[in-house]
Amino acid sequence: MKALKLQLNRTTIKYIFLIFPILNFGILTAQPQGGYRPHPLLSPMWQAEVEYMDPTQVEDTTMDNGFSGAGFTYRLPLYLGKDWLSADGGKPFYAIFAQAGVNVRQSQIDFIEPDRLLTLGKLSVTGLMAKGLRNVYLINLSAALPSESFAFKPNYIRPYGAFVWRKLYHNNTLWHTLGVIYTPIAGRDLPLPVAGFGFKMGNDDQLQFTFPFNVAYTHKFNRYFSLTARMQNMGGFYYLHADSTYRQEPNIYRFRYPRVGVMGRLYTLTHVVICPEIALTGRGRLQRNDDKFRQMNALYFRLSVQVRFGKRPTAAPILNFDPGDSGFDPSYLIE
């Protein structure tokens, strides 16, 4: 067991050293390229990421729990209204987006048998209406398959959705977000309210709070690099195959971790965003069927690369944001 833990610690170090060369390369290439960056909300994009949570002890047991993983997301606008918002508010602007994503996590140590693949496939459609220069409404409908090795059963398909209203005030430095979301963020499917606000303190600092997803403070060092300190939840569940301990199916594994960390954003080549993150999780809440456990604090690492493409339209200020900014969809990065 000690040899295994040593190997995992070495794996953690490899993740850390993987991030720094990419950051250094990004800093060298983050030079002015001319033109505009693709729009954070309205442009097509794809995003790839790797993540790792260092295994730590599951309390009151001799078991440890952790994972390593990777994910890919693609977003495509299906419809963008032609009549953009004019300076006096003009007509409402409508847009429709499709998004597909897949995430794979490999279990480590022995809480879940080692090397089992926890997989999540997701398809979603988002509709947007911007009214005037200050209000935007988003409706999202999704279907997800949280299973092991992409095992498909009709009752494994989970429907999710959200409705969010975001209002920007006249000085363009204050906004609020209200709505409702049906999500597994707490380890089970729940309808939850979305309520938050954001405030820009000058050109370089921003505070964002959204219940129940995140609190974030961002400082922009320049046009190409920023750091965000944030607290947020990480949760969900998977339908697993039966094993030697849990013989019934569906065998449901639920998890929920609060985490506190620092995330960097490096904008390169006008359309690429490199986003490393390091965080410390709080005591995790784990559940296998009716058996409940708590997990010790753990280090969490993630590295995301998002590529946005397409022309950047002239947009009203209310549309210059990313849904991940308010916790609306964690698969997005924050502008």
How far apart are alpha carbons 162 and 158 in whole angstroms? 14
Cβ neighbour number for residue 247 with a 10 Å cutoff: 8
Written as six digits, the tokens of 10 are 């070495």
Q: Which of 20, 8, 22, 21 is nearest to 52 (CA)?
A: 8
Is the Cβ–Cβ distance between 220 and 261 less than 8 Å? no
Can you tell me whether residue 21 is helix, strand or coil?
Answer: helix
Q: Residues 297-311: pLDDT tens digits?
A: 999 999 999 898 877
| pLDDT averaged over every residue in the chain | 82
pLDDT at 4: 46
Q: Please indicate, yes or no, if residue 334 is contained in any of the structural domains.
A: no
pLDDT at 42: 82
pLDDT band at 17 (very low <50, low <70, confident <90, very high): very low
Strands 214-222 and 272-281: what pairing?
unpaired
pLDDT band at 186 (very low <50, low <70, confident <90, very high): confident
pLDDT at 231 over 70: yes
Above pLDDT 70, what percent of the chain? 80
How far apart are alpha carbons 12 and 112 in whole angstroms? 19
Q: Please indicate, yes or no, if residue 335 is contained in any of the structural domains.
A: no
Q: Please indicate, yes or no, if residue 333 is contained in any of the structural domains.
A: no
Q: Which of 325, 306, 275, 311 is nearest to 73 (CA)?
A: 306
How far apart are alpha carbons 263 and 231 in whole angstroms? 11
pLDDT at 287 over 70: yes
Q: Which CATH number characterizes residue 314's domain?
A: 2.40.160.40
Give the domain range for residue 50: 2-326
Q: Please indicate, yes or no, if residue 87 is contained in any of the structural domains.
A: yes
Q: Residues 193-225: pLDDT tens digits?
A: 888 888 888 888 999 888 877 889 999 998 889
Is the Cβ–Cβ distance between 213 and 198 less than 8 Å? no
pLDDT at 19 over 50: no
pLDDT at 211: 82
Counted domains in the chain: 1
Written as six digits, the tokens of 152 are 């498909």
pLDDT at 271: 83
Higher per-residue pLDDT: 114 or 285: 285
Q: Please indicate, yes or no, if residue 332 is contained in any of the structural domains.
A: no
Q: Please indicate, yes or no, if residue 172 is contained in any of the structural domains.
A: yes
Fill in the DSSP letter of residue 132: T
Element spanning 233, H or E: strand 225-240
Is the Cβ–Cβ distance between 125 and 159 less than 8 Å? no
Higher per-residue pLDDT: 315 or 87: 315
Written as six digits, the tokens of 40 are 């954070």
Can you tell me whether residue 215 is helix, strand or coil?
Answer: strand
pLDDT at 274: 92
Token pair 């720094």 is found at: 20
pLDDT at 106: 94
Q: Residues 140-159: pLDDT tens digits?
A: 999 999 999 999 999 999 99
How far apart are alpha carbons 93 and 127 in whole angstroms? 11
Q: Please indicate, yes or no, if residue 86 is contained in any of the structural domains.
A: yes
Q: Please indicate, yes or no, if residue 167 is contained in any of the structural domains.
A: yes
